[in-house]
Amino acid sequence: MIWGWIGACLVNFLADILPSERKITTPKCNRCGEQLSWKFYFLLTSCKHCGTKPSLRHIIVLILVPIFTGLLAQFPLESLGNFGAILWLVYFSVVIVIDLEHRLILHPVSITGAGLGFIFGTVNHGFLNTILGGGAGFGLMLILYYLGELFVKVLSKSRGEEIEEIALGFGDVNLAGVIGLLLGWPGIIAGIILAILIGGVVSGGYLVLQVLRKKYQAYQALPYGPFLVLSVVVLLYISANI
């Protein structure tokens, strides 16, 4: 449980500094710019310079990450090991929080994930299947990325107006590569298919909700990162039990 708490603090810290700094530095208050003390993250105290309180996200992360750590202890993922599972929990939490808040999957985060994915993949599936899995994840998502771009182009032509939204971010392509390394070949194929299915069901539900609330706007882009991550978790549990 203590690891969950430390992991949660790490997630909040990284999700705060990485989008603006792109590297690990001392945390700064997002209102007054003064340095934050470690208590801000560990005990959720306010900024001592301007009194800014930790956000709702800080609180949610500090509750959810320890809960998931507890669940991982209860239902261990043997392919990752106890410590590895917490490491990936922290990693994917950072990806999801930044993706939801900024619609971004940052390059330093993707590169770190590629390193982690390569290590864990090679241990579990061997070198060749890891590289193949990474290439397949990246390549398949790249195809989807270009199809999405084409779709937006055709759409803006037919409507006679420019559409700024992109269907799929390039960060999703990188993330699919990371997941491909972790799941290896041929697990990544199931991973991508599952992510598309989950994404389809969730975005379908979301659209119905928007229509019911009369707020419907056509072709809203959804952050795909969380669906990719969810499908990895499902697959890791399935593959551990067959």
Residues within the interface to Zn ion (CB under 5 A): 29, 31-32, 47, 49-50, 52
**Beta-sheet strands, E only, within 67-166:** none
Which residue(s) pair with 28 in the sheet?
A: 35
Question: 148 near 202, Cβ under 8 Å?
Answer: no
Q: How far is the CB of 59 from Zn ion (least distance, A)?
A: 18
Distances in Å between the Cα of 67 and the Cα atoms of 1, 62, 70, 118, 120 are 8, 9, 5, 27, 24
Element (H, E) at 28: none
Q: Which is nearer to Zn ion, 36 or 141 (CB)?
A: 36
Pick from 236, 204, 238, 208: which is nearest to 222 by CA? 204
Give the SS3 label for residue 35. Answer: strand
Q: Which is nearer to Zn ion, 33 or 205 (CB)?
A: 33
Q: Which two tokens stand for residue 210?
A: 């928007």
Q: Choose between 39 and 153: whose C-beta lies nearer to Zn ion.
A: 39
Q: Which is nearer to Zn ion, 51 or 204 (CB)?
A: 51
- Residue nearest Zn ion, CB atom distance: 29
At closest approach, how far in Å is the CB of 35 from Zn ion? 9
Minimum CB distance to Zn ion, residue 60 (Å) = 21
Q: For 151, which DSSP code? A: H
One DSSP character per residue, 115-127 reads HHHHHHHHHHH-H
* Smallest distance, Zn ion to C-beta of residue 211, A: 41
Least Å distance, CB 182 to Zn ion, is: 38
Cβ nearer to Zn ion, comparing 36 with 136 = 36
- Least Cβ distance, residue 17 to Zn ion (angstroms): 14
Residue 37 or 52 having the CB closest to Zn ion = 52
| Distance of alpha carbon 54 from alpha carbon 223, whole angstroms | 24
CA–CA gap between residue 121 and residue 143 (Å, rounded): 23
